[in-house]
Structure 1
């Protein structure tokens, strides 16, 4: 751990599949539109045009290049977002809390999703206490990172960190424990479950003071 950096990136295959579905939906809509406008042409023509459109659109736009990722090192956590970097030392951050936003029984359309959250702390603060959405200084949505398969181009260590929300949060805290010379995993990752609306995709309330 001490001599390297662990880079955690969103799963490119998950994002690519979502984009592929979107391209296919647009292609179907285009084929249907052409079939209605040009009633006399054979059905195969709008279908072939739709397929060509989907393939071209996916080739141009569908394979995402993530512009946000995390870098874990002995010195701290670095958040890269849209080309900007924010570095936080482990000493300045509390233990990360896994926050699970669960849809209530009445709202069947909402999906469950996950964040990790931390607070800025001083030496006298209880750094192991759970962080809830109202007290968080740093929150990161992590569902885009989570998947476990062998074809994403990620290393086995990266895949192990991203195979579940719990593993992701535990990985952050293990690196923090190691850097602070604490017993790794002795304090479990705090978990908070809530049905309240979560923060945006990426919230860096302390960003302005940490950006370098």
Structure 2
């Protein structure tokens, strides 16, 4: 009886230990978006060496990283799920970037969305975050400079044109604090519809129109003379 009780206590303690050491893992909202092309969109898959220990999240490319560019799991710094990505060097170190190349359909419109948080407590110089579609050499879709915004997680969304292969890129420096990125999505919105061109009369139709106008003008002139 004592042996059986001892086994029951041991099993119970083991069950409690497993429950406490493996808390429920929340999914990011971006994983539930149908057709989302972004891999590891909420950084829930961690990084190549595990969350909080590597600068490069799974599925992403990071350039110019320093100490604070990493996957984090602090609840107050996550938009949804359990993780987010923290980035933003000192300006003197140059901007840190995180990017991912996706395969899409050339000629289709896409909705490119993400959530962003600026941890800086007040408006400050030496702060900038930018988001690009396809090329960092062009005009950024989003550019916030010398500001404490967004002071809470804010969703940004843009309509972009697919070329077949495109790269989403986020670039930032933040001297007093860091930026946090979460729930990134790229979703096909269907073929891009070009503007309808103005109707141009065919040459034969144009000639008939001119003839008709001239004939009407001649009739009016004869009536006036009479």
TM over 0.5: no
Larger Cα-atom Rg: 2
Give the structure with the larger strand fraction.
2
TM class by shorter-chain length?
Answer: under 0.3
| Alignment TM-score, normalising by the size of structure 2 | 0.23
